[in-house]
A and B are shown apart, each in its own frame.
Chain A
Amino acid sequence: MSINKETVKKISKLSRIASNEQFEDSMIKDLNSILTFVEQLNELNIKNIEPLSSVVEQKLFQREDVVKIMNEKEDVLKNSPHKNENYFVVPKVIE
């Protein structure tokens, strides 16, 4: 698989990363070399091997359905660059 300019443009748009000609060219190079490296895995025969979901020999930890107040509204809003008394404020987004 090889990465072309269109793919890089699409990925940067989807991940909201601004791109320019120079950035795209360097990305094409980097991503292709990463993919080529990873593609070595294709040489292995994994026909009868189940995909590994985790390397941890452990079961999913589940918690009880109990409400705990971990922090107050002020703490949550504290890090927001733009807020008012109650809400996070963001540039208008509407369909």
Chain B
Amino acid sequence: MTEKEFDYYLEGQTGKWEVIIGLEVHAQVTSNAKLFSSSSTKFGSDPNSQVSLVDAAMPGMLPVINKYCVEQAIKTGLGLKAKINNFSKFDRKNYFYADLPQGYQISQFKFPIVGEGKVILDMPYGTKEVGIERLHLEQDAGKSLHDQDPQNSFVDLNRSGVALMEIVGKPDLRSPEEVGQYVKKLRSIMRYLNTCDGNMDEGSLRADVNVSVRKVGSTELGTRCEIKNVNSIKFMQQAIEYEAKRQIEIIEQGGAINQETRLFDTKKMETRSMRSKEDAHDYRYFPDPDLLPLELDQDYVDTIKKSLPELPDEKKSRLMNDFGLSSYDASIIISDQEISTYYEEVAKNSDYKLAANWMIVELFGILNKENKEIKDSPVSAKNLSKLINLIKDNTISGKIAKTVFEDMIKGDQDPEVIINKKGLKQQSDPKELEKIIDKIVQSNLDKVEQYKSGKDKLFGFFVGQAMKETQGKGNPKLINDILKEKLK
């Protein structure tokens, strides 16, 4: 792939503008029970069926922290190459809302469990490092339904108290494209670690997006606006584009940006101010007296570190160094753990590069067309691996393999069975091929003459004829070799 230049600048009336973006990602921790209670975290259960008296904030109930959620936060921190803080604390963030029965959210304000880290992005213009400011543990709120009744809102507390990791990124992102890559990379790291399923449809991953603009060349940050709770990459990108243009327009007309919280309206495709929250920003954080500080032994952190699986970046360099894949191919293979597991299954017993090629071009082509995930692949890794070996050992040509593949996707058939049934085996007997080619040469003497007098392009014609005679089954390399010999 050719290296491109970064080029996301917005054209205003007074010149070019740069967009500065920082994300606060809320990732739901994969765990059985909630952060401070033993209620289940299962998604999609009957409303209010997973609510303990702790989650409903009944008087006198005390929070007890879930050890596994702490471990998950540490793992994620390590995956972000971040500093793990052996001393962290829980604070109360106070605000009133119907789906927050405690009247405060237990969060970590001054002393988060994870400090500074980084995430590496593969952009068309090279790799880009995005700083992580911190990661902290906090409780999720319940869910309000506003559309069930004209006068009332309904509250479901099943999500109340589920553990979240808030991952605060530095304002290092510069385009919607980078934001997309960043969220995908975070999600991929957490999926490898099994610390967050990253399922955006179910709200397991959502983000607050901070956007500001400045003139190209300026080094000062502009006033930012925060777009709350965006739950898809596409919406994040659309919201950023709209918001950046809105800010540029205001500034160019001589106005100033108010630092405020905004909502993205996905129907009108615009952001608007959340006026009602204007003075709700005074959260009056203070240490939660119900919880002691969270102290971690370095040994414990080290043990977790040793148990980490291979992460996307490491896997990528292994695929490039040991398997000889290109950076582009490797980055596609590692983008998702299920894809990389499938790949390694295919490549293990066949050819590394062919396996990557077949997956990226043919298999993903089919999956995209049918809107399927790799886990629903109509072709098993085992059978794809077999197909690649059949190309490799010249049983079939790459072209025939595509025909076989088309049959394979109809119910994961063994490629060998298809080849035998349809008689697609490659014709690799040089004597047989020679006979065929002799015949072609004899019946096209005029073209042979033209070829010999310098019309090189006619070589393709002869190959085509040979392929036609063998119904596409002739070994292309052999045909080439024999033809070259005959046409000398």
Q: Within B44-59, which residues are at the interface with A (CB < 8 Å)?
A: 46-49, 51-54, 56, 58
Chain A positions within 8 Å of B277 at CB level: 95
Binary contact track A41-57/B, C-beta < 8 Å → 1, others 0:
00000000000011010
Contact of A84 among B54, B154, B295 (CB under 8 A): B154
Whether the Cβ atoms of B53 and A76 lie closer than 8 Å is: yes
A-B contact count (CB 8 A): 132
Count of residues in B whose CB is under 8 Å from the partner chain = 54
Chain A positions within 8 Å of B146 at CB level: 92-94
Output the nearest chain B residue to A62 by Cβ-Cβ distance. B67
Using known A-B contacts A13-B279, A70-B53, determine if residue A62 contacts B47 with beta carbons closer than 8 Å: no
Whether the Cβ atoms of B52 and A71 lie closer than 8 Å is: yes
Whether the Cβ atoms of A76 and B157 lie closer than 8 Å is: yes
Q: Does residue B155 face the partner (Cβ distance < 8 Å to A)?
A: yes
Using known A-B contacts A90-B155, A92-B146, A93-B144, determine if residue A67 contacts B47 with beta carbons closer than 8 Å: no
* CB of A79 to closest CB in B, whole Å: 7
Chain B positions within 8 Å of A56 at CB level: 292
Contact of A63 among B38, B47, B263, B276 (CB under 8 A): B38
Using known A-B contacts A59-B295, A94-B146, determine if residue A87 contacts B155 with beta carbons closer than 8 Å: yes
Chain B positions within 8 Å of A67 at CB level: 32-33, 38-40
Q: Within A7-58, which residues are at the interface with B (CB < 8 Å)?
A: 10, 13-14, 16, 53-54, 56, 58
Whether the Cβ atoms of A54 and B292 lie closer than 8 Å is: yes
* CB of A9 to closest CB in B, whole Å: 11
Binary contact track B142-159/A, C-beta < 8 Å → 1, others 0:
001110011111111100
Using known A-B contacts A14-B284, A95-B274, determine if residue A60 contacts B97 with beta carbons closer than 8 Å: no
Whether the Cβ atoms of B48 and A91 lie closer than 8 Å is: no
Chain A positions within 8 Å of B39 at CB level: 67, 69-70
Count of residues in A whose CB is under 8 Å from the partner chain = 39
Q: Within B275-330, which residues are at the interface with A (CB < 8 Å)?
A: 276-277, 279, 282, 284, 287, 291-295
Q: Which of A16, A68, A87, A95 has the most CB of B within 10 A?
A: A87
Whether the Cβ atoms of B292 and A60 lie closer than 8 Å is: yes
Whether the Cβ atoms of A77 and B48 lie closer than 8 Å is: yes
A89 to B99, CA, bound (A): 10
Whether the Cβ atoms of B48 and A76 lie closer than 8 Å is: yes
* CB of A70 to closest CB in B, whole Å: 4
Chain A positions within 8 Å of B149 at CB level: 89, 92
Whether the Cβ atoms of B154 and A88 lie closer than 8 Å is: yes
Whether the Cβ atoms of A53 and B284 lie closer than 8 Å is: no
Output the nearest chain A residue to B40 by Cβ-Cβ distance. A67
Q: Does residue B199 face the partner (Cβ distance < 8 Å to A)?
A: no
Q: Does residue A66 face the partner (Cβ distance < 8 Å to B)?
A: yes
Chain A positions within 8 Å of B40 at CB level: 67, 69
Chain A positions within 8 Å of B38 at CB level: 63, 66-68, 70
Output the nearest chain B residue to A67 by Cβ-Cβ distance. B40
8 contacts between A and B (CB under 8 A): A64-B67, A65-B66, A65-B69, A79-B58, A88-B155, A92-B149, A92-B153, A93-B153
Q: Interface of B with A (CB < 8 Å)?
A: 31-33, 37-40, 46-49, 51-54, 56, 58, 64-70, 89, 94, 96-98, 144-146, 149-157, 263, 274, 276-277, 279, 282, 284, 287, 291-295
